[in-house]
Amino acid sequence: MKHKAKKRPVHHPIYTFDIEAFSHEGRGIAHYGTHPDHPKEKHGKKVFIRYALVGETVKAKITNQTTRLEEAEMITLESDASEQRVAPVCAHFGVCGGCSLQHIHPDQQIVLKQNVLKSHLEHFAGLQPEEWLAPIRSVKTDYRRRARIGVRYIPKQNRLVMGFREHHSNHLTDIQQCKVLDQVLSDSLVELKTLLESLTGKAHIGHIELAMGDDEVSLLIRHLDELNVSDVNQLRQFTLLKGWQLYFQSKGIDSLHRVDDEHAPMRLHYSLEDFKVKFAFSPLDFTQVNSHVNARMVQLACELLDLKEGERVLDLFCGLGNFSLPLARCVGETGRVIGVEASDEMVERATENAQANYLTQASFFSQDLTKDFSHHSWAKQGFDALLIDPPRSGAYEVMQYVPNFGAKRIVYVSCNPSTLARDAGVLAQYGYQLKKAAVMDMFTHTEHVESIALFEKIEQLEKTQEIND
């Protein structure tokens, strides 16, 4: 009989550190060599410590070591707490992989995120805006209007786990509530878990998705095998009592179907009241999770572009038209808005939304913007202004073509400060000046940095100055 080799116990040494600065993801930064217990051979080496704040002295356990740096987790606080330290609002903090900045005061979180954006712009592009705008802050603590929640049935324990992934792990944290999830959704989690536990096909459920519109809620069940009639009826009854929409998805996006009312449209809705536009979206469509910040963001984007009646605007990575439709309101019936998106389905959705809001001046095209698009008719048109809202990978390929659009003003909305900085450097080379920038608190308590920036063509600025003189 073969015997399994016993795993060697992992040694996690513990040291005392003085926290000097924040990393970009909100960890405390310290160096070896400041305390007597530090090994001499490590003096000067940088350590990144989770949950430690600037100005604090902490005991920390080393969790990962490389030649250049080490990572650690704070065990105990050995000094007075920083003024910026607050009690985490969530009982799952430190285990759940989300909301890793809960121990930092929200005001300091904003400062941290703005510093991250400043650092990236300076380091990667050698740029700083002429004006830093006030950050767009979230007004709600329970700001999330959608969430994907993992479900895992453990047969040996006859136990169902429903929750979010743990930090740097595929394990699920069993949650009873989520403080950043809209209270209506959070308050339903325990009841929803009880329901899933009662299903005979609970082992077939991979995850669930919750989404909210202004007046609707949807529950999507992602199942790996067919659910029996009894399970389906239980789920129907649950959503009927809640007044929710119910969806099943067995495979890809094409397998999505509505179960509570098979003849009803697969849509939820949200509005942007300032622009008198209403959007329809599918539970699987990308929408911003924070409705208040989204409304403020769209309003600011339109203000920065300073659009006039009759102007032409290009909206790249337009999605379902979240910016396109408000932009169409700004340029009026004599203006033109062209929206471009890689997904055929999202182009269809944006077109539907434009038609539903009687915005005939908005048109949409499907195109992978990482590929050459110069031969398309929409790309050969001139534009007064350009809005870009790319994914985390940024819009580097688009940047090479920007001069051909002839836009005087560009608003760049970003969810990744490093790719924004990279692309800003390209815009600067093409004669665009970074005029204004702001961070947005789209995801409070997380390390995600959302931002918005205005670029203006330098030649246009010079002409304006000449006129004013």
Asked, for residue 105, whether it belongs to a domain, the answer is no
- 53 and 156 inside one domain: no
Range of the domain at 247: 146-268
For residue 1, tell me if it sits in a domain. no
Low-confidence residues in the chain, pLDDT < 50: 1, 461, 463-467
304 plus 428 within the same structural domain: yes
Q: What is the pLDDT of residue 421?
A: 97
- The verdict on 76 and 119 lying in the same domain is no
**90 assigned binding-site residue:** yes
Domain with residue 65: its CATH number is: 2.40.50.140
User: Do both 299 and 423 map to the same domain?
Assistant: yes
Please check whether residue 439 lies inside any domain of the structure.
yes
pLDDT number for residue 4 = 55
State whether 346 and 366 are in the same domain.
yes
What is the per-residue pLDDT for 3?
54
The pLDDT of residue 463 is: 47
Q: Is 288 annotated as a binding residue?
A: yes
Asked, for residue 276, whether it belongs to a domain, the answer is no
Instruction: Tell whether 98 is covered by a domain.
Output: no
Instruction: Please check if 96 is assigned to a binding site.
Output: yes
The alpha carbon dihedral of 101, 138, 425, 341 has a sign of positive
Count how many domains the chain has: 3
Q: Is residue 103 part of a domain?
A: no
Residue 389 is labelled as binding a ligand: yes
Q: Which CATH number belongs to the domain containing residue 247 in this structure?
A: 2.40.50.1070
Residue 28 and residue 172 share a domain: no
pLDDT at 460: 54
What is the distance between the alpha carbons of residues 239 and 218, in angstroms, rounded to a whole number?
A: 9
Instruction: Tell me what pLDDT residue 467 has.
Output: 45
What pTM, to 2 d.p., does this model score? 0.92
Say yes or no: 344 and 452 in one domain: yes
Instruction: Mark which of 236, 268, 300 sits at the end of a domain.
Output: 268
Q: Is 263 part of a structural domain of the chain?
A: yes
Residue 378 lies in a domain: yes
pLDDT at 125 (0 to 100) = 95
Judgement on whether residues 452 and 303 belong to the same structural domain of the protein:
yes
Q: Say how far apart CA 80 and CA 69 lie, in whole Å.
A: 26
CA distances, 149 to each of 94, 198, 205, 227, 444 (Å): 18, 18, 11, 19, 19
Residues 128 and 226 in one domain: no
Residue 302 marked ligand-binding: no
Same domain, 303 and 321: yes
What pLDDT, on the 0 to 100 scale, is given for residue 168?
77
- CATH value at residue 366: 3.40.50.150
Q: Which residues are catalytic?
A: 415
368 is in an annotated binding site: yes
* Same domain membership, residue 389 and residue 262: no
- Domain match, 401 and 463 both: yes
